Amino acid sequence: MRKSSGVLIIFVLIGGLLGGVLGEILRIMAPHGTIQSIFASNFTLGITEPLTIDLVLIKLTLGFALKINLLSLLGVFLGIYLYKNI
Nearest to 78 by CA among 14, 6, 35: 14
Residue 76 pLDDT > 90: yes
Nearest to 47 by CA among 33, 17, 74, 67: 67
Predicted confidence at residue 30, as pLDDT, reads 77
Predicted confidence at residue 28, as pLDDT, reads 84
Predicted confidence at residue 1, as pLDDT, reads 58
Number of Cβ atoms within 10 Å of the Cβ of 65: 11
Q: How far apart are the first and last CA of the chain?
A: 10
Residue 78 pLDDT > 90: yes
Give long-range contacts, CB 8 A cutoff, 24+ apart: 26-33: 26/71
Show the DSSP H helices in the chain as ranges. 5-29, 34-39, 70-85
Which pTM value belongs to this model? 0.76
